[in-house]
Amino acid sequence: MKKCPVTILIVGCLYIATGILGIAFHLEDFHSGRLMQDGLIWIAAVRLIAVLAGAFMLRGAGWARWLALAWMAFHVALGFMNSVRQGVVHLVIFAIIAYLLLRPEARAHFQRRTT
């Protein structure tokens, strides 16, 4: 079995770290009892999706690569809702991640594994 490409390793670990740090950032808010009013359930779900995408990318699951790209596209949209500058920054990050996940080396990693 071949090793996971370094670029996939980096992107996968970044997604996992981003998700975990995002959940940790809101841990105190979860104790407020206002989970639905503050939208914390949705925030936690989005963070958990990042962790799942990262973990399964490392395992070579092709669907996880697309989930990671969709997750980032969602953040591009959120960024543009806040400001043009934030949207552009997220768009640049999205472009870099898309490049790394769609390169031939990455495609080969995802094609040789089925789960």
Q: What is the pLDDT of residues 45-93, one digit of tens each?
A: 999 999 999 999 999 999 999 999 999 999 999 999 999 999 999 999 9
pLDDT for residue 65: 94
Residue 47 and residue 22 in contact, taking contact as beta carbons nearer than 8 Å: yes
Residues 115 and 107: their CA atoms lie apart, in Å, by 14
pTM of the model: 0.85
